[in-house]
Amino acid sequence: MSKICVLKVKETVIQSWAKDLFTLAVTAFMVYLSKDSTWWTFVTGTMFIGFLSIKVFALLKESENKFDNTDDVRAWLDRIDAEADQ
């Protein structure tokens, strides 16, 4: 039987911009460090790939719900709807 996966998006536009700005700042710092050096380009490139993969996996783990069937999904959606009405 296949599982159903639902991703929750719970960040605001400002939070998304802040995350993007932080990622850009880290990237700019790594580019600055690797200027005129093949060794540092490799090191900072590896660090950046590790940094991004850790962030992506942390976000996916935090925002993912897995369900075995559609009844579980309906119950989860009903619970969210009830919480929103309060």
Q: Give me the number of domains the chain comprises.
A: 1
Range of the domain at 13: 4-85
Digitized pLDDT (tens) for each residue of the chain, 86 residues in all = 567 666 666 777 788 788 888 888 888 887 887 788 888 788 878 888 888 888 777 776 666 677 788 888 888 888 877 877 77
36: left (phi over 0), alpha (psi -120 to 50) or beta: left
Name the token pair of 34. Answer: 């690797």
Rounded Cα–Cα distance for residues 80 and 59 (Å): 20
pLDDT at position 12 is 78
Amino acid at 45: G
**CA distances (Å), origin 44, targets 27, 31, 49, 86:** 9, 7, 9, 48
